[in-house]
Amino acid sequence: MTSHGKLRKEKGSLAEYELQVKDLRAQLTDQIKILDSQVDVKQQQLSDLSEFLRRRGDIETEYARALDKLTERFTHKTKKKEQWGQSVCQVWSVLLTQTRLESREHAALGDTCCNTLTQRLAHSTEDTHRLHKRSKEVGIQMQDELLKVTSELQTALKTYNQYHTDCLIAEGKLKEAERLEERHTGKSAELGTGQSGGPRRSSVKKMERLMEKRHGRVQETQLQCTKARNDYLLNLAAANAAMNKYYLQDVSTLIDCCDLGFHLSVERVMRCYLASRWRIQKTEEMGIKQLEAAVTSLDQGGDRDGLLQQHDAAFCLPFRFNYHPHEGDQVCEVSAESHVRYELETRFQQLQSRLAAVTLETEEISKTLKATLTALLDTMCDSDCNPSPDVLSSLSHEPPGGSTAPKLTLAKRRANQQDTEIYYFTKVKEFLTSSCLCSKLQAKHDLLQDAIQKGTLIPDLRVRKSRPVSQFCHTLFTTDILSYIQSSGQQIPVVVESCIRFINLHGLHHEGIFRVPGSQREVNLIRDAFERGEDPLSDSECDLDSVAGVLKLYFRGLEPPLFPYNSYTQLLECVQIEGETEKAAQIKAIVSTFPRPLLIVMRYLFAFLNHVSQYSDENMMQPYNLAVCFGPSLLRGIDSDDAVARQPQVNDLIKTMILQHDLIFPSQSELPGPVYEKHMTLEQEYCEPITEEGEGETEHLPSEDEWEAVAMFDYVARSPAELSFKQGELLILHNKASCDWWRGEVGGVKGLIPHKYITVLDGACSQKYLLPHYCTQLLTHINTLLNALNTKLQSFCVCPDRMRVNSDSASLPGRQRGSEGSPSRKPLTSSATRHLSVGYIFVHLLCLLLLLLLQEMISRQMNSVFKELLSRQPPLQPSALTTPATPAPSSSASSSSLPQTAPAAKKVGFGLRGRALWNKKSQQN
């Protein structure tokens, strides 16, 4: 590459860093603006609350005066009527006393609202402004420190680029000198001994000095380049650590400082108000409780998290600074080569001692900070400055305007509080500075430690669960999905597969999935874990809404989006088609032109969304709601001006693709690749016995070697190792193969039995739960008798002159109208014979009614037993309650161990359902 190309490459790297730093500065400015707006909101809230309490106090005072006048008026009248009876006087006395007490309570409430509570709110307004100002100063200082780190990173990058360029120039000069030496040696060989030895030796010595000088220059520039690269990598690690520390910890601390005591002051004021209202209005207990709940729900941490989530664009952690090697440089880590090893070891020891000292200092500052915070909160909640409800209750029995705290003492307490605040913010600044320095030192310490260990020890060859090395050349989020699939070799990106599996196992029944936002902090943590090559959803408990947010974030950050830009207009034109089938066919014609990797991902995603929509009665996410959540992320145009106007069309298109996904996307036989499975359970290899080193054999049930179980649903085996069985069939269990599979036998055949499809019986109730099996056989015999009786009854109705039997019992279940009569029997004409026939028919009808009654009783007993089976069954996973799916082909390796989906068993009355199941079973028998 020419020098101009190298210069352009260098300028490209520096420009990228400058753009990233520029965005960082804008984001930091937005944070300060948001914090300023928040303090205005809080001050307005305090002002409105103070005005409300003042007006309420005036109203209560006026009401108390009116009650006093009323009491005095009737008290004066009752004194003149001493001739009244004792009972009437007692009634008046109680009534007037109660009115007088009520007047005193209202007067106390008015005085509290106008004086005590409004004064406290005024103090809170002053405190809020002052605390915000000091928090803002600390925040600006921390932002300056962060920008300083980024400036140091840019300087290190420029130095590294300069030294690496010098190294390349020196190597070029060395190669040129080697070519000159080769030409000079060749000319000397051609001349032979014709020339004198003196000039030739002089030329040789001159060339040797030149070569020695060039070699020395190459070694010098290589050493400088290595040092500059190491310094750049160390500054890169420090910058990323500083950013992580600031956005994940410092921002929350600053917001907490802005809100210091605000929530507590409002809570104390409202509790005082509630205590007074509780004494006055006993009949309004429900309203008081509701306000009490609202006051109790004041949560400083929750408000902080809500603020962060509301302004996620300003407070979310930016992407890490990536390492950009210079042209031709293959080293991407700190190298501990022999000529710099001693320097790195010395630097590592210095870092280690410095880190220990800074960590100890930070811990001491943290302890002091906690103690100061406790003292400051105690001062802000002091009983003299902020009266408790108990004090107000004693004031309610005294005349209005009684004894209060002296103003001088109150001013002294306020002054002490401000001194404590100054000391607290000093410690906050020290803690943030020290902890930030600790984070930077820790990052450099870990990087140097890894470099030194790699230089001395044999690399550890343990297999880690991470992405292939080829994936690290592409970021997982905000990337081109086609490039990622090609570099990683994964047909379904790991974040898509892991999030969908997690939601399939835990979130299909979760109300508002994909609509309710998750925690922005947890979303950032899951995203960073995926970027590091980990799978945070494989063995941890995560918030469902946050996992759904990560899935939406992935598709929203794809550039270009999942649907190519050139198909935007064509797909939106399909929305105008009236018929759903024609619309799906046209969409399929357009989608079939997409690259095969995109088709595989789309088929997987829309099959999953269709599965989620099948639980819309529980998760409240119909296909249109899912389209609203995913439409803007999946389908975007190059020009975003008309995105809002075209949003309904995009939603309609995505809704159609969710509903008609099986018609739009090719099947697995047409397009080989991963397909979405509704039942995501353990793979076949995980069905082996679970043993730990040093433990015994596989887990057995503690009481018996063999247990009995009853099949709750039909199951069709999908591999030779599994067993098929029918609902209600008796199973024998030997031991547990895993948490989801048993080893057992059905009809003498041994194999694996899924745990979610059976219920295990204990010895005391096994015979009780086997009742449906024997009742089925009894119902079969009853049906046979019913058919025989029905045939005999029909034989009396063959001839037209014979009395026909019209009964409602002819339409009862199990009866069939016979087609054969008794042609050899002559019709009866005498009256006696007709009476005999009627009696014969009556007996048969009575038998029919008795058998039908017995059948109904047995069916009810079976229903009750089956319902008790379901009640004893442990709660099934969502995948065990979904609609039955068509079994996957036996050639599919991914679905060979997945059980067949169980029938739906929710929100349906069990009586009719159980009866239909058992009648179907009896008909089959």
Tell me the two tokens of residue 334.
């700190």
Portion of the chain with pLDDT greater than 90, in percent: 16
Give the closest residue to 626 by CA, choosing from 595, 593, 594, 654. Answer: 654
Give yes or no for residue 599 having a pLDDT over 90.
Answer: yes
Q: CA-CA distances (angstroms) from residue 190 to 187, 193, 206, 208? A: 5, 9, 20, 20
Portion of the chain with pLDDT greater than 70, in percent: 68
Q: Are 711 and 687 in contact (CB under 8 A)?
A: no
Give yes or no for residue 500 having a pLDDT over 90.
Answer: yes
Give yes or no for residue 462 having a pLDDT over 70.
Answer: no
Which of 96-100, 113-117, 265-269, 865-869 has the least mean pLDDT?
865-869
User: Residue 776 CB: number of other CB atoms within 10 A?
Assistant: 18
Query: What average pLDDT does range 657-672 have in this prediction?
Result: 92
Give the closest residue to 66 by CA, choosing from 113, 117, 110. Answer: 110
**What per-residue confidence (pLDDT) applies to 719?**
67
Helix (H, G, I), strand (E, B) or coil at 474: coil
Query: What average pLDDT does range 489-514 have in this prediction?
Result: 89
Query: What average pLDDT does range 477-494 have in this prediction?
Result: 86
Helix (H, G, I), strand (E, B) or coil at 133: helix
Tell me the two tokens of residue 690.
């679970």
Each residue of 329-371: pLDDT tens digit?
777 788 877 777 777 888 888 888 888 889 989 998 998 989 8
Give yes or no for residue 565 having a pLDDT over 70.
Answer: yes
Tell me the two tokens of residue 856.
């109904």
Chain CA centroid to CA 346, Å = 45
Assign 838 a pLDDT band (cuts: 50, 70, 90): low
**What per-residue confidence (pLDDT) applies to 81?**
52
The CATH T-level fold of domain 10-185+204-260 is Substrate Binding Domain Of Dnak; Chain:A; Domain 2 (1.20.1270)
Task: Determine the Cα–Cα distance for residues 198 and 184; give it in Å rounded to an integer.
Answer: 15
Each residue of 402-456: pLDDT tens digit?
445 567 788 888 888 888 889 989 989 999 999 999 999 999 888 888 888 877 6
Task: Determine the Cα–Cα distance for residues 598 and 591; give it in Å rounded to an integer.
Answer: 9
**What per-residue confidence (pLDDT) applies to 861?**
66
Q: Are 614 and 509 in contact (CB under 8 A)?
A: no
Assign 285 a pLDDT band (cuts: 50, 70, 90): low
Assign 488 a pLDDT band (cuts: 50, 70, 90): confident
CB-neighbour burial class of residue 334 (10 A; exposed 0-12, middle 13-18, buried 19+): buried
**What per-residue confidence (pLDDT) applies to 359?**
92
- Torsion-angle region of 794 (φ positive above 0: left; ψ -120 to 50: alpha; else: beta): alpha
Tell me the two tokens of residue 457.
């020890």
Name the range with the highest mean pLDDT among 11-20, 178-187, 582-591, 677-686. Answer: 582-591
Give yes or no for residue 528 having a pLDDT over 80.
Answer: yes
Q: Which residues pair with 710 in a beta bridge?
A: 730, 759
CA dihedral sign, ordered 615, 617, 618, 622? positive
Q: Are 77 and 369 in contact (CB under 8 A)?
A: no
Q: Are 624 and 655 in contact (CB under 8 A)?
A: yes
Q: 481-664 maps to which CATH number?
A: 1.10.555.10
Of the two residues 372 and 644, the one the predictor is more confident about is: 372
Length of the chain equals: 925
**What per-residue confidence (pLDDT) applies to 903?**
37
Q: CA-CA distances (angstroms) from residue 717 to 503, 527, 773, 886? A: 25, 38, 22, 13
Tell me the two tokens of residue 861.
């007993």
Residue-wise DSSP of 32-57: HHHHHHHHHHHHHHHHHHHHHHHHHH
Task: Kindly report the average pLDDT of the chain as a whole number.
Answer: 75
User: Residue 565 CB: number of other CB atoms within 10 A?
Assistant: 13
Helix (H, G, I), strand (E, B) or coil at 317: coil
Task: Determine the Cα–Cα distance for residues 633 and 627; give it in Å rounded to an integer.
Answer: 10
Q: Which residues pair with 750 in a beta bridge?
A: 745
**What per-residue confidence (pLDDT) applies to 922?**
44
Give yes or no for residue 696 having a pLDDT over 50.
Answer: no
Name the range with the highest mean pLDDT among 225-229, 742-746, 771-775, 850-854. Answer: 225-229
pTM: 0.34
Q: Are 145 and 254 in contact (CB under 8 A)?
A: no
Assign 396 a pLDDT band (cuts: 50, 70, 90): low
Chain CA centroid to CA 774, Å = 48
Give yes or no for residue 680 having a pLDDT over 70.
Answer: no
**What per-residue confidence (pLDDT) applies to 382?**
67
Tell me the two tokens of residue 631.
């439409």
Q: Which residues pair with 732 in a beta bridge?
A: 708, 745
Assign 658 a pLDDT band (cuts: 50, 70, 90): very high
| For the chain, domain boundaries | 10-185+204-260, 481-664, 707-760
Q: CA-CA distances (angstroms) from residue 66 to 282, 356, 490, 505? A: 20, 72, 81, 66
Q: Which residue has the tokens 């067993």?
A: 723
Q: CA-CA distances (angstroms) from residue 301 to 76, 256, 292, 312, 885? A: 58, 8, 19, 16, 45
Each residue of 293-315: pLDDT tens digit?
656 667 777 777 777 877 878 88
**What per-residue confidence (pLDDT) applies to 555?**
92
User: Residue 8 CB: number of other CB atoms within 10 A?
Assistant: 11
Helix (H, G, I), strand (E, B) or coil at 791: helix
**What per-residue confidence (pLDDT) applies to 869?**
55
**What per-residue confidence (pLDDT) applies to 10?**
60
Q: 707-760 maps to which CATH number?
A: 2.30.30.40
